[in-house]
Amino acid sequence: MDRLHINGGVCLEGEIRIAGAKNSALPVLAAGLLTREPLKVCNMPHLIDITTMLQLLGCMGVQRVVDEKMNVQIDSSTIENLSAPYELVRTMRASILVLGPLLTRHGEAEVALPGGCAIGSRPVNQHITALEAMGASIAVENGYIRARVDGRLKGAHVFMDLVTVTGTENIMMAATLAEGRTIIENAAREPEVVDLADCLNQMGADIKGQGTDTIVINGVRELHGCSYPVMPDRIETGTYLIAAAATRGHVKVKDTRPHTLESVLSKLEQSGASLLVGEDWIELDMRGRRPRAVSLRTAPYPAFPTDMQAQFTALNAVAAGTGSITETVFENRFMHVHEMNRMGANIRVEGNTVFVEGVDRLNGAPVMATDLRASASLIIAGLVSKNETTVDRIYHIDRGYECIEEKLQSLGARISRVPLR
């Protein structure tokens, strides 16, 4: 296990390239289970979660080939095991995404109840209820979801009680090979859902309405392979922009999609950042100024993303004024607050809202990461601190950020990874 050492006080300056989106790559890899032909997935990020998903596919008998550019070709014509074991699923919630593809193509699936970051209950009942409406028989026993269907799944009218990204993706994939039409209402509108739908359509699916709250899927008999580049990671993009704003820096992020980050860019402008935006790049310049505190409320896309609130908490911690951040998506996503207060931040939690009164600078301290985005927020806090900050349990950060210390070093940050003995 490693830790990060950070010596703060440096304004980030320079340019970096954004990696492919983890939250797009994982469902696209699962989509490879829907066809007998090879699927080539390009622009893959080099992350632990990607490695875990490839291991999961491999334990089912799926052939995987990774080239030097991190393009991955998967061939599920050799699949021989329709079970996703607890040993792999427990580390990554996105493993649930193999349930729909296995069931719709092979008529059965056995998937362990998923794990991942401890940021809330995130129940899978909506996945199960929707698949049952499509004709599946499902039992949850001994920690596993066991699903079967006689013949093909049947198209159904599915209403999601709560907006769920993985739920929308799972049912959308299952519906591609179902008999008849499936309509998903109150569907997730996230760009990653659109990216998956675009990939499925390239594979021969008939999907319309992605990006809206109603998705219509007309089932087809089979899908074919294709080559598909996953979209850039909007959360990685936002994280580096917030880090630049907090450190009063000047950074350009390249190979990204600015239109997927409108709510985040709006808040950065409110914080005092000057922004220039191109087709695939964003440039942020604080001109050496201290950021202003902002207030925000998380909600499903296109509103402000829950995956960015911890990073804005770090920015508010050193901003001028007082800001409030209300979390409406997950009930347990303020675990970074205690660690930041240990660094001299002035943050209090009231229910599902944090109130942050900015201080001039934080003080370095040993801190512990509790989940993926909390890890990123503690790194930002370390960048704006006096003295040295050490961040432990950084295996969380490696689940979602590609070579984060190297990218920050290229922007001038004094950060290093130190193996623990």
Distance CA 110, CA 171 (A): 16
Q: What is the pLDDT of residues 287-315, one digit of tens each?
A: 999 999 999 999 999 999 999 999 999 99
pLDDT at position 332: 65
Q: Concatenate the DSSP letters of all residues of 213-278 into one string.
A: SEEEEE--S-----EEEPPB-HHHHHHHHHHHHHTT-EEEEES--GGGGHHHHHHHHHTT-EEEE-
Distances in whole angstroms, Cα of residue 222 to Cα of each of 25, 177, 219, 366, 396: 22, 6, 9, 54, 37
Distance CA 52, CA 70 (A): 15
Q: What is the pLDDT of residues 348-369, one digit of tens each?
A: 999 999 999 999 999 999 999 8
- Predicted confidence (pLDDT) at residue 116 exceeds the cutoff of 50: no
- Predicted confidence (pLDDT) at residue 119 exceeds the cutoff of 70: no
122 DSSP assignment: -
194, amino acid identity: V
Q: What is the pLDDT of residues 32-60, one digit of tens each?
A: 999 999 999 999 999 999 999 999 999 99
pLDDT at position 115: 56
Q: pTM of the prediction?
A: 0.95
Please compute Rg for the chain using Cα positions: 21
pLDDT at position 374: 87
- Predicted confidence (pLDDT) at residue 258 exceeds the cutoff of 60: yes
Beta strands in 48-162 (DSSP E): 63-66, 72-75, 83-84, 108-112, 137-141, 144-148, 157-159
pLDDT at position 117: 39
Cβ-based neighbours of 50, under 8 Å, separated by 6 or more: 22, 25, 26, 29, 44
| Contact in structure between 390 and 367 (CB atoms under 8 Å) | yes
Active-site annotation, residues? 117
| Contact in structure between 328 and 298 (CB atoms under 8 Å) | yes
Q: What is the pLDDT of residues 179-216, one digit of tens each?
A: 999 999 999 999 999 999 999 999 999 999 999 999 99
| Phi and psi, residue 234, nearest 5° | -70, -30
Q: What is the pLDDT of residues 264-284, one digit of tens each?
A: 999 999 999 999 999 999 999
